[in-house]
Amino acid sequence: MSTEIIYMTATELLARFRDKSLSPVEVTQAALDRLDATEPKINAFQHIDHESALAAARESEARWRGGEPQGALDGVPVTVKDLIPLKGWPLRNGSATTDETPCAFDAPSVARLREAGAVFLGKTTSPEYGWKGITDGPLFGYTRNPWKLAHSPGGSSGGAAASMAAGVGALALGNDGGGSIRIPSGYSGIYGIKPNFGRVPDHPREGAFCTTSAEGPMTRSVEDAALMLNELAKPDARDWYALPYDDRDWRDGLDDGIKGWRIAYAPGLGGAKVDPEVRALVDLAVERLIVLGAEVEEVGAVFEPLEPQFTDYWLAGFASILRGIPEAKHDLLDPRFRDLAERGLSVTLAQYNDAMVARARLGVTMKQFHETYDLLVTPTLPTTAPIAETPYHSQSLHRWNHAVPFTLPFNLTGQPGASVPCGLASNRLPVGLQLVAAPYREDLVLKASRAFEAEAPQVWPQPLVEEALGAGG
């Protein structure tokens, strides 16, 4: 396989399709070859369909030959997270309580990608119902980080991040209900953006977490994320929460820079404690923002720690999932998920309401905060990626202290946020910089991400990834 082809951005691939120097069939075959070579090592896929991918690539190739591409992503290989419905493929939700029954419909995001001509390679792994910030479970085992195979790529869009970093596909579709795009992007050294809540229509949008979750792009370049967001944000009447459609091209003004912006830097957001080496790399990243012309001010915690305010909300959400699973199948669940979900059964309406009041107060705090600041930047995560087998929500990988202190706040407020790679720690694992804007201002997140990317470009293929995956894989 050609390493050059598998690491091309979607933007580069489309240019090559246009001038006929590459075909969608060549690209899809290279992506599938790479998938086959890396999958035994990273275990990033829940479902793979070579036949349908190649059939779609042949149809795309015919359209390009005829000078009539179907849409803006025609022929681009894409992966889809297992939690997102894709017609004709199983929707396992990362859980052994589900089965191989083909899904009867496409989620809005998948439908838009299909209409744009994307080629689906497979469904990527997720922990059970997306419950945690690393990716493993009884259904499929452990998904591993291609930078260092002993480590997790993060979660819950862990398979999406691992495959993207390993050169499998040009675009990945993930979703983020507490950091599930940004956490694995930070741990795995790729770019990931959580759009504003409602920007990308979703269906079915139901359950206790339905107003915190957003689907979005995971890519190896900011321009690709903007290109993908153009399609994902198109309207779908099945989502009554969806924002009014904004038909802008999210690539417009991408290179405008950040000169004169007021940026707040909060390395201790919500009382978070950060590993010193991670802090040092993020400090350097913030210095680059200053070089780019931004005015940066280090601010304090901004708001109170999340755990006391939102533990009941978290547990109650898991309990709502548990109630929808037949009791006869409860023994098939991840034991740690089941334990937390059963604890959630005792959360009272008054406790849940207290969390909703706290959520509203957090939203007001951040709305007022962005009256002063164009952007808030933080580390994406307090540490680098943990060992894959580390028990989640344990002393060594505590949810509130180690996984979500920087990401979850902006699921609660709905604001757009992204993780951009900002260097490697001495253990040779990636560190991410999180950029957050006021509600509805994905344009600011994308512009700042692009400015930083241009100042500190991520080069693919990464020698450390190639070394970890082995020659030819």
Q: Cite the beta strand spans of 87-227 per DSSP E.
A: 119-124, 136-137, 141-142, 171-176, 191-194, 214-219
> 424: exposed, middle or buried (C-beta count within 10 Å: 0-12, 13-18, 19+)?
middle
Distances (CA, A) of 252 to 118, 223, 327, 446: 22, 10, 51, 10
Does 81 participate in catalysis according to the annotation? yes
Query: From the CA atom positions of the chain, what is the Rg in Å?
Result: 21
CB 433 within 8 A of CB 452: yes
Say if CB 315 and CB 340 are below 8 A apart: yes
| Cα angle: 241, vertex 230, 57; to 5 degrees | 115
Catalytically annotated residue among 126, 157, 180, 185: 180
Contact 277, 426 (CB under 8 A): yes
Under DSSP, the state recorded for 91 is -
Residue carrying structure tokens 């795009």: 181
Angle, CA 318 vertex, CA 316 and CA 324 arms, to 5°: 110
**Distance from CA of residue 114 to its chain's centroid?**
19
Return the bridge partners of 324, or none. Answer: none
Contact 386, 134 (CB under 8 A): yes
Tokens of 213: 């979750």
Cβ contacts of residue 69 below 8 Å, gap of 6+? 17, 60, 63, 75, 117
Q: Annotated catalytic residue: which of 126, 152, 156, 221?
A: 156
As a dihedral over the C-alpha atoms of residue 122, residue 128, residue 134, residue 137, rounded to 10 degrees, the angle is: -90
Calpha distance 109→405 (Å, rounded): 28
Structure tokens at 326: 């037949």
Residue closest to 404 by CA, chosen among 393, 413, 395: 393
Q: Are 80 and 73 in contact (CB under 8 A)?
A: no
Amino acid at 138: P
Q: Is 132 a catalytic residue?
A: no
DSSP 280-312: HHHHHHHHHHHHTT-EEEE----S--SHHHHHH
DSSP of 129-167: GG-SSS-EETTTEE--BTTBTTB---SSSHHHHHHHHTT
**Annotated active-site residue in 81, 123, 132, 194:** 81
Give me the active site residues, please.
81, 156, 180
